Structure 1
Amino acid sequence: MSSDLDTDTDSVRAIFQSYDGMEGLSHAVSPAPARPQAARWQALFLKIYPGFLLSATIALAATWLSQHYQSPVMLFALLFGMTFHFLHQEGRCVTGIEFSSKAVLRVGVALLGARITAGQILELGAMPIAAVVTGIAGAVALGAFAAPRLGLSRSFGVLSGGSVGICGASAALAIASVLPRTDESERDTLLTVVTVTILSTIAMIVYPLFVAAIGLDNTSAGIFLGGTIHDVAQAVGAGYSISPLTGDVATYVKLLRVTMLLPVVFAIAFLVNRGARRGKSGAKPALPLFLVGFAALVVVNSVGLLPKPVSSAAGEVSRWCLVTAIAALGTKTSFKDLAAVGWRPVGLMAAETALIAAIVLIAVELA
């Protein structure tokens, strides 16, 4: 007959997680129905919170520096996260970092829908919509076509093209979440976020000078800035640096690009699932739930059921989630991994940036 000394570690932990165990009762005694579930949630929380707390702390520090030095918060979060790469290699933080880079990311992307209404988009008219759709399609097509010819994966081409065409780091995170997982997936995502953030910062400085030099009016300048600058905050900031009207137009055009996140990511997820089904007969496509949440929030906000304070709060939570996810991704990647990829990814994303700028500028001039 076995004694208490023969009980394995998991059984000991289970015994001491219940009051019955503390009373010395046998592990075979059935506890109250709610206790096993509560114990599992508690165990999950204890696994997640160290890595999540690390990611959230890095996000908080990055936000503080961004506000005080007027620099991209995503870039700060990435760089800070990469300095803590050793914590992802082993130890208590690994599970929480993985949770932050995936689950928290999806929540942040879904909540982006609270910032958008259909009315904002329809007020722009046909020309900006056509220019934005063409620019996004062109950037993704260029990436998918050119990446294999530069020795890069087609997935990276789609990831970089979508990031440049839609909304920078946020789009990169959303698209990466539905692309096939490979050994280079995390590195490619981090490289895309770093490069698109740098290119967006350069565009925020250079493009207002460019539109002034070629003589665009306030409305046309807003369409160009909103349709070409990658990051939402930088597009809005560049627009308002010219005039309030330019800032308003740039904001709406940029939100139009954010709206395109839903169909683009859904289309990529569909194609990925269809490719996977070729090797697995009978497999059903998985519908990304965060895209469903994104679409639902857009609809609810468009019909006026989402109060302004709630919409603003959701936007702020979305920003925090995305910065936290970026910090977590940073801890999963080393500087050595990024330095090893060379100039080709940067050159590809620069070409995608130039292409979308040319498409939007031609549309503005023709209109």
Structure 2
Amino acid sequence: MIDKIKHRAHELFPGIAIAGLVAISAQFLNEHYGAPAMLMAILLGMPLNFLSEEKRTADGIAFSARTLLRIGVALLGVRISVDMVQALGLPFLALVVAGVLATIGFSLLIGNLFGKDRLFSFLSGGAVAICGASAAMAIGSILPKREHAERDLAFTVITVTVLSTLAMIFYPILTASLGLDRDATGVFLGGTIHDVAQVVGAGFSVSEETGDLSTLVKLIRVTLLAPIVLIAALILRKGTEPGAARPPLMPLFVVAFLILATFNSFGFIPEIVKDAASQVSRWALLAAIAAVGMKTSIPKLLEVGGPAIWMVVTQTVFLALFVLAGIWLIG
């Protein structure tokens, strides 16, 4: 048994090491030049596509793209607690949940208009609605295997990250021009920007109080990742054709996410453990997204086409208008 584990570790190490190096490079660019780490990870990984077909590195890259991803998403649970949900208040909580569900539903409805199937619509809609790249990768891991799965995932990650970065820059200007107060601004930024890092950047660029609130709202959206992935897995499992491989009844990383969130809600997780788990989660997701980039062919990525870009833009605009309308209605 030990020999098998050693042999497997020996097979996986080169690919995992390369994914880790790309993740470190992406983080360096983020810390020194302000470039989005997730976007940098996938862009730096894409020119290394040939390594995903190299015998010595292929297994480790595949492991990073799938298993490290699930570890990273599961560990996000340490950042979630019931107290966070209670602190927001029922009206704004309802708005955040409704925004996520409405955006996913809207995405499924408009997919045909842009020539995309329901799986791509759910993938991109979930990424826009919940938490950007992390949601895209979590949703992508439960979708049935299909020919262009990795291409669609890479496209979605790149597009939502770029749009999230643009939103980080322009949404604070928009909220100021609309005259939104501190609470409304925090809810809007946290309820509409795709990635956590960009929400933090946008919120704290306005004020410390706005940054705290927008981050809270964003993490509540992250909380919805687990139930939505679970429900989607059940639906996909039910709709699988007889004899075809079926998605798991309950993805283990979703179970782990919920368990960690429950433990955190009861105060069972010490701060030092939460900080360590958050760091491991971030690095696991960075390495996973780097591996996804390495498994993505640039010519194939270009095959996705302009309509798909406009589809994600439309989803983003819909979510922004929905949340803005909700804020005005709540007053």
CA contact (8 A) 1:66 1:73 kept: yes
CA distance in 1, matches of 2:290, 2:159: 16
Which of 184, 195, 209 is the aligned partner of 1:245? Answer: 209
The equivalent residue for 2:87 is 123
- How far 1:314 sits from its partner (Å)? 0.6
One-letter amino acid of the structure 2 residue matched with residue 124 of structure 1: L
CA contact (8 A) 2:203 2:214 kept: yes
- Secondary structure of the structure 2 residue equivalent to 1:152: coil
Q: Would you say 1:155 and 2:119 are equivalent positions?
A: yes
The equivalent residue for 1:176 is 140
Q: Would you say 1:314 and 2:277 are equivalent positions?
A: yes
CA contact (8 A) 2:15 2:57 kept: yes
CA distance in 1, matches of 2:81, 2:27: 27
| Deviations, residues 282-319 of structure 1 (Å, cap 9, x unaligned) | x8952100000000000000000000111111111100
CA distance in 2, matches of 1:149, 1:251: 34
- How far 1:138 sits from its partner (Å)? 1.6
Which of 185, 188, 203 is the aligned partner of 2:152? Answer: 188
The equivalent residue for 2:299 is 336
Q: Structure 1 length as normaliser, TM-score?
A: 0.88
CA contact (8 A) 2:233 2:247 kept: no
CA contact (8 A) 1:274 1:285 kept: no
| Deviations, residues 111-149 of structure 1 (Å, cap 9, x unaligned) | 000011110111101122111111111211122122233
Which of 92, 100, 103 is the aligned partner of 1:139? Answer: 103
CA contact (8 A) 1:200 1:231 kept: yes
The equivalent residue for 1:16 is none
Which of 159, 166, 185 is the aligned partner of 1:202? Answer: 166
**Alignment map for 1:17-166 (pairs within 5 Å):** 37-166=1-130
Structure exhibiting the larger radius of gyration computed from Cα positions = 1
CA distance in 2, matches of 1:126, 1:349: 29
- Secondary structure of the structure 1 residue equivalent to 2:131: coil
- 5+ long unaligned stretches in structure 1: 1-36
CA distance in 1, matches of 2:182, 2:154: 35
Higher helix share: 2
CA distance in 2, matches of 1:239, 1:71: 17
Over the aligned positions, Cα root-mean-square deviation in angstroms equals 1.3
- How far 1:90 sits from its partner (Å)? 2.6
Q: Which 4+ residue blocks in structure 1 deviate beyond 4 angstroms?
A: none
Identity percentage of aligned residues: 44
Q: Structure 2 length as normaliser, TM-score?
A: 0.97
- Secondary structure of the structure 2 residue equivalent to 1:93: helix
Structure with more relative contact order (C-alpha pairs < 8 Å, separation 6 or more): 2
CA contact (8 A) 1:127 1:363 kept: no
CA contact (8 A) 1:55 1:324 kept: yes
Change (3 A) 1:285 1:190: closer
What number of residue pairs does the alignment pair up? 329
- How far 1:364 sits from its partner (Å)? 0.9
The equivalent residue for 1:358 is 321
The equivalent residue for 1:301 is 264
